[in-house]
Chains A and B, each alone.
Chain A
């Protein structure tokens, strides 16, 4: 069993423990860089963009998989349900690069299908990807498109674990489909919902670098620059390692504290918890 011990060491080298060594090896700067970040002129914009994007994403996309799972659960034909599920999960397997390119093709101001359609209905062509005001919506919408089906799996699994006797009892008592959803299915989903909500709040500040970076351009930068992309630019493009690392650590600490707080709250209120 202890043969595995050295392996742990190798693995951890890529995670969060050895980076500390690198930091300790260099002269001590105290909280200088943290201070610089909090007082820098981009700070408020970055913070607002990051939080705005992730809250928007959370609020808009979180309930949808639940609804979808409830819906799938009611589709009667097994084959039909399987087919619909297969289709709805599919986008999850497409890479971010391809999703963003599909957006840029479909939304192109000159030849994109969306603009052609709105123009034929008398609308004006909009260069969606270059408009700061559209950035968040596009980000969220494409995320919903890509992941809603996949995220519904977990709820669907919880739904299929419900004892059929509960439904029979409900029918005897004259409860229709709506009541069954509210009184049987939602309560059964509640623990899953809480756990996923907690996990999601943990990542509020670390909103996805990959897609943001790909969707970013000089025109929409005012709303698309988030902390994650800023860390990348400051750190690896302008090589201000310590400053960038400080920002990264700062956000990690915040999201960890946030996660712990939400978890504590959930445990107090509902008895559900991550650990």
Chain B
């Protein structure tokens, strides 16, 4: 009996190890490949010689990328949308979350439903489009910052956090000391809730950085386009040379195009990727707080 369990456990450990190994390789390899390919001679990449280490190291792709004005404008736009949008998101998410976490708030139940209902049912693309148009937000930078600033899921995370971390005794104590509701919120609730605020801020940042749907639908002006739209044009529609940049033979363009593609993927993803391991524990915490009450 004891022996059977041992072999069983051994097989178990083996499977655990295999799953981990497969996961790591499957996830990391495509990313690794893009990185080495971005430094390699495109001809070698095309013929499949590059798969473990870069060949014919070159920075040509990056040089071209740094010269591309459209990309930089996209980058700047995205940074603007991300920073402004994330702060706006906090401003409209945290206060209602706190309001709903207070048990003495009379409208708590109906408003809670009012918010959560939107998670499961929405007016749809066209009605939303009409509203955005009517409000005059379409084709302006504001749509990228304001639209979808409020996110019910984030609100629930914050609400759950407030419910379990801001005891009503604290409010009572503050009241006795003559502290009003607004001041209590600004001076006491916000400082003790830094953890959840940063989590929501980070969620917003990542999401705004990667946002492309809103821009696709509501923006028309080239100068307003965020990074993701520019990426789509360059990466998926092969539109690198729209502005009639130097052309010298179809194959050179194709090779250079590949190189640029790899490089652009890196350049656009690196900010998030570099920051993420340091912030991972916040993200993880966010998911866990949200999990308490879905």
Q: Which residues of A contact B (CB under 8 A)?
A: 1, 3-4, 7-8, 10-20, 22-23, 67-68, 71-72, 74-75, 84-91, 93-98, 100-102, 104-106, 110-111, 113, 116-117, 120, 145, 148-150, 153-154, 157-158, 174, 176-178, 192, 195-196, 199, 202, 209-210, 214, 231-232, 235-236, 241, 244-245, 248-249, 251-252, 255-256, 259, 274-275
Contact = CB atoms under 8 A, between A and B. Distances in A.
Chain A interface main SS type: helix
B48 A117 contact: yes
Interface residues of B, number: 87
A87 to B, nearest CB: 5
A120 B48 contact: yes
A210 B213 contact: yes
B21 to A, nearest CB: 9
Contacts, number: 235
Given A75-B16, A231-B124, A1 B258 contact: no
A195 B291 CA distance: 10
B217 A14 contact: no
Contact of A19 (B6, B27, B28, B128): B128
10 contacts: A4-B96, A68-B19, A75-B16, A86-B277, A145-B27, A153-B288, A176-B9, A245-B127, A252-B122, A274-B294
Given A14-B147, A97-B231, A97-B232, 6 more contacts: A7-B95, A11-B149, A16-B118, A93-B273, A94-B273, A120-B48
Contacts of A71: 15-16, 19-20, 23
A105 B262 contact: yes
Interface stretch (B60-68, B129-137, B160-168, B189-197): B129-137
Given A67-B19, A84-B24, A178-B8, A192 B291 contact: yes
A23 B131 CA distance: 11
A93 B213 contact: no
Contacts of A145: 26-27, 30
A90 B181 contact: no
Contact of A249 (B31, B120, B124, B235): B124
Contacts of B30: 102, 106, 145
